[in-house]
Structure 1
C-alpha cells in the first residue's frame, strides 16, 4: 500500500513538472515569435543614414519618410526595448532623424519627406497630428525607461511637442485636436477630426506627465465623442473622419481629405480597436466590445466596411486584423476564439512588404508582448 502511495506521489509530481515545462516552453515560443516579428520588421523598414534612422514607407524608388511612420517606429522600438529585443541606441537613431526634420519654430515633424538627390525635401510646412502624438508618447516611454540625462532630454522634447500641439492643433470649441496644423477655421477643416486621433490612453498619460488640465479635457471629450459615434449604428464601426458641430458629431461623407471612404471604417479607423485597448476603462471596453461583437460574427474580416457593416473590399490586411486581435486578446474571456485565431495570425503571418499592414502587425505584436503593462482604469 505504501509503495502504491509513493508511486501516486511520484506520478503527480511528474505531471506537475510536465505541465510547468509545457507552459514554460509555450511562453518561450511566444517570446521568440514576438522577437522575430520585431527583428524582421526592423530589417525590412528601418533605414540608417547620415541623419539617424527612419522608417521607409516605399519599397522601390526614392525613399520616403512620414511622421506617421516615424511615430510608429519610435513606439514599436520602445515596446521592443521593454522586452529587451533592442536597445536605447536603436531608439536614439530614430530620435536623431526626427530632430533633424522638424518644422521651423515647432517640434512637429514634417508630415512627409521625400529623398531627392541624397537630400530630404519636405512636401510642405504641415504636420499630421497622429504622427506627432506617437512621437511624443514614445519620448515619454523613453524618459520613463532611461531617464533624460543622456544624449537626449526625452522629457523636455515630449513636453515641447505637447505644448506645440495645444498651441497649434487644439480646437477650443470642440476641445479636441485638429487633424493637422493646416486644418484651420479659414480652411473649412477646423472642426474635422480623425477618429483614430482619439487616443484616451495617450491623453491620460499626457495629463499625468504635464498636469495641464487641457489634456484631461481632451481625454474626457474623446471618450464622449467615441461613445456617440459608436451609438450611431448597430455595428459600432467608426468613420475615418468625422465632423464636430457643438455637442453633435457626424461621420464625414465622401472624400474630405484622402479617399471616397473617408466616412467609412477604412485605413485610418482600422487602428481604433488597438488605440482603445491601451487603457482599461469600462467606457472604452464597452465601445470595443461592440466592435468585437460585430467582427466576431464575420466569416472573414475584410479590409474595410461601411458603417452599416457592408464590406468595401474582398481581401484581408493585417492593418485591420492585427488591431482587432489586440482588442480581442484584452477581452479574451468574452471572445476566446477570435482572440486565439487573431493572435495566431499576428504571430505567424509573414510580413508582406506592405509598410502599413506590416507596421500595424508589428505594433500589435509588441503591445501583446507588453500587455501586462496596460494602464488601469481610474
Structure 2
C-alpha cells in the first residue's frame, strides 16, 4: 500500500491545541510521539488483516480474536479513527483507512443501509443477526469526519470516496435508528426494541463525537443528545457513585423518569450494573471531550474519576483493577490496559480547576499522569487482546496531545 493525499493534520504536529491548562506527560513530546508510533506499528502488525483475510480484494479489517466473531463493528470504528489520526506518520494510513471503509461499506445492517452490520465471521460473512451496534457506527461516522478534514472529499481515482457525504448519511442514520426519540440517549443498536428500548450503554456516550455531528449537520437534535448524556451521567454519579464518579456499563429504565444502573444481567453479564468492560472506556471518552471542548461538565466528571483512581490506588497504576462496584469496591484482576489507559486521559484534567483555568497541577497529579504514561509505554499490545489494545492506543493518542475533533 502507498499513501496518497497529504495529511492536513499530520500526526506529531500538535497543530490543534488542547484547552488551556491541560497536563501532558513529562519529558520530550517528540519522544512521546515516538512511543505512540511504536505502539501503532505493533497494533497494525497484530490486528490488521487485508485481502482475502478481510473478505475481499482491496479490503482491510481489524481482527478481534477476543470477540464473539473475528470482525466486529467496534473494532472497525477504532481502525478508522486510528488510521485517520496517524496520517502524516504512516504513509499507508490513507490506504488503510479506505480499506477498512470498503469492509464497512460491504456489510450494511439489515435494518438500514447506512449503518454497519456489527459482526462478520472468518470468511467475511455477516453473522449474529446482521444488525448494528451503536458504538461502532458512532466511531465509523466520526472517522469519516476525520478523513474529510484530513484528506478532503476526493483523493482521485475511480475508487475515491466522498467522506463527508458518507459521514452525513451515517450520522443521519444513527439519529434515526440508534438515538431514542424521546430520551435522546443512544440505544444499543438499530435492533433495540421492547425492554431494550429503555437501555443505554454509558460507553456509547461520546460527547466529542456528538459535538462533531452537530457541527457537520447543523441538526440541533445533537445538542439534545449531548445534554441528555451529560445530564444523566451527572445524575447517576450523584445518586449511585458520589464517592467515585464511576458509571455502570448499562443504564436501564431510561424512559421511566427514574433511570439507574442495570440490576444484574441485562445484556452481557451479571456485572452490567458495575464499572466493567464497557464503562472502563468512560474516563477516556469524557477526558477526551474535556481537553478538546473545555466543557465544565466533562471536565468535572473526568477530573473526579482521575482523583478517585489516584487515591484508591495510592498513585500506582498497577493497582487499577478490571472491575469495580460503583462504590469503588474492586472485584477484577489488575493489569488490563482497557482499565488503566483511560484513566491517563482523565488525568490530563487534574490541574487547579482543570483545563478551564491556568494553574499548577494538583499535588501528585503530574506524578500520577507520568506513572500512567509509563505503564502504557511499557505495555505493548497483546496480539490476543484487540479490545484492550485499541483502547490503549487511542488513549495514548489523546495523552500525547495528538487527538483532535473535526
Question: Which TM-score bucket, shorter chain as reference?
Answer: 0.7 to 0.9
1:26 Cα deviation (Å)? Answer: 3.0
Partners of 1:85 and 1:284 in 2: CA distance: 34
Q: Which among 45, 62, 68 is matched to residue 43 of structure 1?
A: 45
Q: Is the 8 A contact 2:85 2:402 kept in 1?
A: no
Stretches of structure 2 that go unaligned for 5 or more consecutive residues are 1-24, 314-318, 352-360
Q: Which among 283, 307, 323 is matched to residue 273 of structure 1?
A: 283
Partners of 1:119 and 1:343 in 2: CA distance: 36
After TM superposition, list the pairs within 5 Å mapping 1:268-307 onto structure 2: 268-279=278-289, 280-299=294-313, 300-307=319-326
Q: Is the 8 A contact 2:203 2:279 kept in 1?
A: yes
Residue 92 (structure 2) pairs with residue 80 (structure 1): no
Instruction: State the match for 2:247 in structure 1.
Output: 238
Residue 133 (structure 2) pairs with residue 147 (structure 1): no
Which digits, 9 at most, give the CA deviation of each residue in 1:212-255, with x for residues without a partner? 11111101111101111121222111000002134432011111
1:42 Cα deviation (Å)? Answer: 0.6
Which digits, 9 at most, give the CA deviation of each residue in 1:165-200, with x for residues without a partner? 11112212211121111111xx21111100111111
Structure 1 pair 254/25, CA: closer, same or farther in 2 (3 Å)?
Answer: closer
Residue 265 (structure 2) pairs with residue 229 (structure 1): no
Residue 334 (structure 2) pairs with residue 315 (structure 1): yes
Stretches of structure 1 that go unaligned for 5 or more consecutive residues are 1-22
1:82 Cα deviation (Å)? Answer: 5.4
Tell me which protein shows more helix as a share of its residues. 1
Q: Is the 8 A contact 1:329 1:340 kept in 2?
A: no
Residue 386 (structure 2) pairs with residue 355 (structure 1): yes
The TM-score, its normalising length taken from structure 2, stands at 0.81
Instruction: State the match for 2:358 in structure 1.
Output: none
Partners of 1:175 and 1:196 in 2: CA distance: 15
Greater Cα radius of gyration, structure 1 or 2: 1
Which digits, 9 at most, give the CA deviation of each residue in 1:270-290, with x for residues without a partner? 001110122221111111122
Instruction: State the match for 1:346 in structure 2.
Output: 376
Residue 76 (structure 2) pairs with residue 70 (structure 1): yes
After TM superposition, list the pairs within 5 Å mapping 1:165-204 onto structure 2: 165-184=174-193, 187-204=194-211
Instruction: State the match for 1:324 in structure 2.
Output: 343
Structure 1 pair 289/93, CA: closer, same or farther in 2 (3 Å)?
Answer: same
Q: Secondary structure at the match of 1:297?
A: helix
Q: Which among 136, 140, 143 is matched to residue 141 of structure 2?
A: 136
Q: Is the 8 A contact 2:29 2:400 kept in 1?
A: no
Partners of 2:306 and 2:26 in 1: CA distance: 30
Q: Secondary structure at the match of 2:176?
A: helix
How well do the aligned residues superpose, as a CA RMSD in angstroms? 2.2
Partners of 2:277 and 2:181 in 1: CA distance: 28
Instruction: State the match for 2:31 in structure 1.
Output: 29
Count of residues in correspondence between the two structures: 348
Structure 1 pair 226/24, CA: closer, same or farther in 2 (3 Å)?
Answer: closer
Q: Which among 66, 73, 95 is matched to residue 101 of structure 2?
A: 95
Partners of 2:195 and 2:322 in 1: CA distance: 30
1:125 Cα deviation (Å)? Answer: 2.6
Partners of 2:27 and 2:221 in 1: CA distance: 47
Q: Is the 8 A contact 1:79 1:367 kept in 2?
A: no
Residue 116 (structure 2) pairs with residue 106 (structure 1): no
The TM-score, its normalising length taken from structure 1, stands at 0.87
Tell me which protein shows more strand as a share of its residues. 1
Partners of 2:118 and 2:309 in 1: CA distance: 32
Structure 1 pair 27/96, CA: closer, same or farther in 2 (3 Å)?
Answer: same
